[in-house]
């Protein structure tokens, strides 16, 4: 009998032996319910968390199936305490339900119910939950104020008793939306994602960048058949959504409005940016009322892992609307994954990046971490700098300009994105390479012109800031060179690789390079950034800057 690749420990961590022949299969099944914490070369560490287990339960996985996975791949018996905790944690999901009573004197009353009176007594006596409930109807039922539906779900998750929301949704004002499947059809995983959302009513669909999340959104809108509000990261993304909806559905330009810094249109399908919703006027969020101004049948949250705090706050009050979150990763650097779970909804469907790659729907990618040394003067500056300045100094080293040029030379004829965080660094890089620069200050129309020039091959290289992290469709980009980032952001790492994952017309393997200053915080942050992609099965090849002549043989 072959011993498996996993060691399950009593502290709820799971160690994965990377070189084991069954490691990839085990990684795939672990991702359903466990989060990757550390990913050095040989042993990866996962943690089994409550939220991970509740998301798995909401998506239809059982404690029995999860324990079967652990037992099948474990080298040693799963500790009995861990097995009991998994069973108990998953059993907690749905012991409380939020329902709508539609009979007798309680017509259309929102209630919190449980078949276990002791659980209901425990939560109803909690200081932050009691004010959200009315006087007890019976030992199994409490009334809930309509406005408190979202906040109650947040507080119940915090108490360890996540409620299953069965109260239903307002249908919204009907509006006919149909898919126009002319020469294309929903991929199997897209159809499953839409079906899972329709059955659940609200929740999050997790798919890799380039796997067609916008089409999932369009198909969900067609299923609901009502006025729709779509929230996106920026105006460029808004216009890409608009173009996709016009191409894939019966919607016409007259049906779709843009609500952004440039345009203020409210139409049956309205696409609004997070920036405009969270902009303040005289201290007030002047545009947030848009969220509840119309009788929306569904609200789509694109890149839901970036949802700003003010939008969370109002979403808590919008629990009667269907909500669809779309994202490539549920990782949030602010730790608010629990609020996504309770306010947008649990994870309804996800697909592993490598599974979609194997089906040919996203491009294969090779990831490289290329380490270089600071110059002597930079090392002296770094040594005496304050902690808050060290990342900027190390990640902005001038050596990265030289190295970026040499990497580009290794990819003749390919389309290259150079991505970074600091504007002055990007300006110097664009000047050194003699190529255009796109930042948040670049007018939207100019951005679109440059992106179109890149798509047609008129511009082969672009230097871009974090505005290109999200929802920018650049299908022929096959090389990305990351020179700096938002510290240790795992979500940003995933989004940046995602710019490369649309299948290439020439069948190229995408190449993702991160340039790292050795023995600095730049290197420390890189280790954290890579965790999510390691969980998806992407390995980073570490190379020395002095040996980048090896790149071509390694990447092709």
- Give the separation between CA 253 and CA 176, rounded to whole angstroms: 14
State the pLDDT at residue 64. 96
- Give the separation between CA 547 and CA 88, rounded to whole angstroms: 52
State the pLDDT at residue 104. 58
Q: Any bridge partners for residue 367, and if so which?
A: 512, 540
What is the residue extent of each domain of the chain?
A: 6-92, 96-165, 188-356, 363-555
- Give the separation between CA 214 and CA 452, rounded to whole angstroms: 19
- C-alpha dihedral sign at 199, 200, 206, 210: positive
Same fold, 188-356 and 363-555: yes
CATH number, domain 363-555, options 3.40.50.300, 3.30.70.1140, 3.10.520.10, 3.30.300.180: 3.40.50.300
Q: Any bridge partners for residue 272, and if so which?
A: 231, 259
CA 432 vs CA 163, 295, 425, 435, 477: distances in Å: 56, 52, 11, 8, 20
Q: How many CB atoms lie within 10 A of CB 184?
A: 12
CA 535 vs CA 19, 26, 138, 354: distances in Å: 14, 11, 47, 10
Q: How many CB atoms lie within 10 A of CB 549?
A: 10
Q: What is the DSSP letter of 344?
A: I
Angle, alpha carbons 383-389-392 (nearest 5°):
100
Q: What is the DSSP letter of 340?
A: I
CA 36 vs CA 23, 137, 170, 246, 396: distances in Å: 14, 44, 38, 39, 29
Mean pLDDT by 10 residues, the chain (556 residues): 86 94 91 83 89 92 96 95 96 94 69 95 95 93 91 94 93 95 91 94 90 95 96 88 95 94 90 86 77 88 86 85 91 84 91 85 89 92 90 91 92 91 93 92 88 89 82 77 83 82 78 92 84 78 80 49
Q: Is 373 helix (H, G, I), strand (E, B) or coil?
A: coil
Q: Phi and psi for 509 in degrees, rounded to 5? A: -80, 130
- Give the separation between CA 204 and CA 259, rounded to whole angstroms: 23
Cβ contacts of residue 311 below 8 Å, gap of 6+? 231, 274, 277, 278, 288, 291, 301
- Residue labelled with tokens 């861990």: 82
Q: Which CATH class is domain 188-356?
A: alpha beta
- Residue labelled with tokens 């919008």: 318
State the pLDDT at residue 556. 45
- 228 within 8 A of 376, measured Cβ to Cβ: no
- Give the separation between CA 436 and CA 463, rounded to whole angstroms: 6
Element housing 155 (H / E):
helix 149-159
Q: How many CB atoms lie within 10 A of CB 403?
A: 20
Cβ contacts of residue 292 below 8 Å, gap of 6+? 314, 317, 318
Identify the CA nearest to 63 among candidates 89, 25, 35, 99: 89
Q: pTM score, two decimals?
A: 0.85
Q: Enter the tokens of residue 511.
A: 């190449």
Angle, alpha carbons 246-298-301 (nearest 5°):
80
State the pLDDT at residue 550. 62
């Amino acid at each position: 009998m072959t011993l498996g690749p996993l060691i399950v420990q009593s502290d709820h961590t799971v160690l994965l032996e990377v070189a084991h022949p069954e490691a990839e299969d085990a990684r795939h099944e672990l991702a359903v319910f466990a989060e990757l914490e550390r990913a050095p070369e040989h042993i990866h560490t996962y943690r089994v968390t409550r939220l991970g287990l509740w998301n798995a339960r909401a998506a239809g996985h059982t404690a029995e199936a999860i324990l079967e996975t652990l037992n099948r791949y474990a080298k040693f018996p799963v500790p009995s305490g861990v097995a009991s905790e998994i069973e108990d944690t998953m059993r907690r999901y749905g012991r409380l339900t939020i329902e709508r009573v539609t009979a007798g004197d309680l017509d259309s009353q929102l209630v919190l119910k449980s078949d276990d009176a002791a659980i209901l007594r425990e939560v109803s006596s909690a200081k932050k939950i009691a004010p959200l409930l009315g006087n007890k109807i019976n030992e199994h039922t409490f009334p809930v104020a309509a406005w408190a539906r979202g906040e109650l779900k947040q507080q119940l998750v915090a108490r360890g008793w996540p409620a299953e929301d069965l109260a239903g949704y307002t249908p919204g004002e009907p509006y006919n939306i149909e898919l126009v499947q002319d020469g294309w059809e929903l991929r199997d995983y897209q159809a499953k994602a839409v079906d899972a959302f329709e059955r659940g009513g609200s929740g999050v669909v997790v798919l890799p960048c380039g796997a067609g999340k916008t089409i999932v959104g369009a198909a969900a809108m067609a299923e609901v058949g009502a006025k729709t509000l779509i929230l996106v990261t920026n105006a460029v993304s808004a216009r890409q959504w608009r173009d996709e909806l016009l191409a894939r559905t019966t919607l016409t330009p007259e049906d779709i409005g843009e609500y952004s810094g440039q345009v203020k249109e409210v139409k049956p399908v309205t696409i609004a940016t997070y920036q405009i919703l969270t902009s303040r006027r005289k201290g007030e969020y002047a545009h947030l009322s848009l969220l509840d101004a119309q009788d929306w049948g569904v609200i789509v949250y694109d890149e839901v892992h970036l949802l700003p705090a003010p939008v969370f706050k109002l979403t808590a009050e919008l629990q009667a609307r269907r909500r669809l979150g779309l994202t490539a990763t549920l990782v949030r650097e602010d730790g608010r994954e629990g609020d996504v779970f309770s306010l947008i909804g649990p994870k309804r469907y996800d697909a592993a990046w490598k599974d979609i790659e194997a089906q040919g729907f996203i491009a294969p990618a090779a990831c490289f971490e290329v380490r270089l040394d600071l110059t002597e003067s930079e090392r002296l500056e770094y040594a005496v700098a304050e902690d808050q300045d060290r990342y900027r100094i190390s990640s902005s080293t001038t050596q990265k300009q030289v190295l970026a040029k040499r990497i580009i030379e290794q990819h003749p004829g390919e389309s290259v994105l150079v991505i970074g965080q600091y504007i002055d660094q990007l300006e110097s890089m664009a000047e050194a390479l003699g190529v255009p620069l796109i930042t948040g200050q670049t007018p939207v129309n100019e951005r679109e012109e440059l992106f179109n020039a890149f798509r047609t091959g008129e511009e082969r290289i672009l230097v871009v800031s974090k505005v290109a992290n999200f929802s920018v469709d650049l299908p022929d980009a096959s090389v990305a060179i990351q020179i700096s980032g938002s510290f240790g952001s795992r979500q940003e790492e995933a989004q940046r690789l995602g710019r490369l994952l649309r299948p290439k017309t020439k069948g190229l393997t995408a190449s993702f390079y991160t340039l790292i200053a050795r023995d600095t915080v730049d290197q420390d942050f890189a280790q954290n950034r890579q965790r999510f992609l390691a969980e998806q099965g992407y390995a980073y090849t570490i190379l020395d800057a002095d040996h980048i002549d090896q790149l071509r043989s390694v990447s092709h």
